[in-house]
A = this chain, B = another copy of it.
Amino acid sequence: MVGVRPPTRTRLAPEQRRTQLLDLGVRLLATRSLDELSIDVLAEEAGISRGLLYHYFGGKHAFHEAVVRHAADDLIAQTAPPEGGEPLERLLASVTAYVEYVVANHAGYQSLVKAAASGNDVLREIYEEARSALTGRIFTEDPWGDLIPDTPVNRLLVRGWSAMVEELVLAWVADPAGVPRERLLELAAGSLPALVESAGPGL
């Protein structure tokens, strides 16, 4: 006597359905990798059929790309650019916003970071753009022009610094281990001036 419930298909507006799938994708791809996530599982989790996913995104990889782009946009949007003020304060404010975002929303951030290393050039570019958007906010707007001249070495340094901050925050979120949040912020923000200074006046 199996209850044969008529398959109630729920019909949504394309926009809603799209964001529903995107949000779900961000959450699922935070822990599993793409090939560990079967369409069947995703579809069942979302309460839809496999076909619908293809209707909206055209394929598995295209879906992944959309998910990553979604996460990147979210990151950029939620870490608002700091107001005017002292360079050091703006840096601290920016880093604080970044840390706050990663702490509150690190499922999405993990999705983004993982995608960057997954071989696909498109995904990597999305990640690069997001990072550029964050670092660019601080440095393209002049006030650091004196402190951090635009040289090849400093470009390299800033790139390395952002990788370090990412690692610091992710490691700290995974295990705060007696390091208060304030201290983390000091480390992240204070390290950039220290690095630039240690690099010396060179080229």
Contact = CB atoms under 8 A, between A and B. Distances in A.
Nearest to A166: B163
Interface stretch (A15-23, A67-75, A99-107, A117-125): A117-125
Interface stretch (A41-49, A51-59, A138-146, A150-158): A150-158
A183 interface: yes
Nearest to A177: B152
Contacts of A197: 194
Q: Is the interface of A mostly helix, strand, loop or mixed?
A: helix
Interface residues of A, number: 48
Contacts of A97: none
Contacts of A163: 163-164, 166-167
B166 A187 contact: no
A60 to B, nearest CB: 9
A116 to B, nearest CB: 7
Contact of A191 (B113, B159, B187, B198): B198
A160 B167 contact: yes
B187 A199 contact: yes
Given A168-B159, A177-B152, A194-B198, A117 B119 contact: no
20 contacts: A35-B35, A36-B119, A113-B117, A114-B118, A114-B119, A117-B117, A117-B118, A156-B172, A160-B187, A161-B164, A163-B163, A163-B164, A163-B166, A164-B167, A179-B203, A186-B199, A190-B198, A191-B199, A193-B198, A194-B197
Interface of A: 31-36, 113-114, 116-120, 152-153, 155-157, 159-168, 171-172, 177-179, 183-184, 186-187, 190-191, 193-195, 197-200, 202-203
